[in-house]
Amino acid sequence: MMKLLKTLAATAALAFAVNANAAPEKDVRFVGETQFSGFCKAVVLDDIKVLRSSLARNVGRIGASQREVLRMVTAEDGLTCNGVNLIKFSVERDANSVHEYLTSRS
């Protein structure tokens, strides 16, 4: 489990270069391995549907349930977008709906 978390963190750290000041989606650029980009995209768009879809797609890959996937990607050493964890990224982007979802369920 720890190996998976470290792999996830390493992959995500290299995978995303998201401009934190870019508001429109067209100004966001994903680089590297983008298999987890849906989580960052959900924050950029402040869209809970995109977030829930990303959680569902990663059941079995990251965790056994959506709640476990959420715990893994919101962990301090979990998924990063623009160099920060998912919760901090949602604060930086003023993604209030996604931030509330992340903090109330993780």
Residue ranges covered by each domain of the chain: 2-18+32-105
HEC assignment per residue over the chain: CHHHHHHHHHHHHHHECCCCCCCCHHHCCECCCCCCHHHHHHHHHCCHHHHHHHHHHCECCCECCHHHHHHHHHCCCCCEECCEEHHHHHHHCCCHHHHHHHHHHC
Q: What is the pLDDT of residues 68-101, one digit of tens each?
A: 999 999 998 899 998 899 999 999 999 999 999 9
Task: Give the span between the Cα atoms of 12 and 26, in whole angstroms.
Answer: 20
The confidence score (pLDDT) of residue 29 equals: 72
44: pLDDT confidence band, cut at 50, 70 and 90?
very high
The confidence score (pLDDT) of residue 7 equals: 55
CA neighbor of 42 nearest in space, from 32, 33, 52: 52
pTM exceeds 0.75 for this model: no
The confidence score (pLDDT) of residue 74 equals: 95
The confidence score (pLDDT) of residue 3 equals: 59
Q: What is the pLDDT of residues 2-25, one digit of tens each?
A: 555 555 555 554 444 443 444 445
